[in-house]
Amino acid sequence: GAVVSQHPSRVICKSGTSVKIECRSLDFQATTMFWYRQFPKQSLMLMATSNEGSKATYEQGVEKDKFLINHASLTLSTLTVTSAHPEDSSFYICSAPKDSVFPYNEQFFGPGTRLTVL
């Protein structure tokens, strides 16, 4: 199966600082990656779709200036949480569909990044 990695796996930061999370597809190219947020005991919520070489598409209610997404290459997307606040504390997960290989659209998930903002 395909592998998607995330870094860091866990981060603790002070309120007001910015945090960058990386999502990499290790053995395939991903023109599209998805970023999700998951609060405790809740399911995943799609935040945005990251598109290689173009602007990300954000879901309703997600502030694009707060959650900056950069998909600079076919194997790397980054999510930067700017001016983080305690309410941004959550589990952030990325996924990438391996759409160049059958079965198309099967998605591979990163291991997640647990962000704690003090």
Partner 1 sequence: KNEVEQSPQNLTAQEGEFITINCSYSVGISALHWLQQHPGGGIVSLFMLSSGKKKHGRLIATINIQEKHSSLHITASHPRDSAVYICAGQIQGAQKLVFGQGTRLTINP
CB 113 within 8 Å of CB 11 = yes
Q: Which amino acid is at 83?
A: S
Contacts of 89 by beta carbon, 8 Å cutoff, 6+ apart:
115, 116, 117
- Interface characters, 31-70, with partner 1 (x: CB under 8 A): -x-x---x---xxxxx--x---------------------
Strand partners, 61: none
Pairing of strands 76-81, 19-25: antiparallel
- Interface characters, 68-107, with partner 1 (x: CB under 8 A): -----------------------x-x-x-x-x---x-xxx
Judged by CB under 8 A, does residue 108 bind partner 1? yes
Q: State the number of binding residues for partner 1 (CB under 8 A).
A: 23
- Residues 72 and 64: their CA atoms lie apart, in Å, by 17
Residues at the interface with partner 1 (CB under 8 A): 32, 34, 38, 42-46, 49, 91, 93, 95, 97, 99, 103, 105-109, 111-112, 114
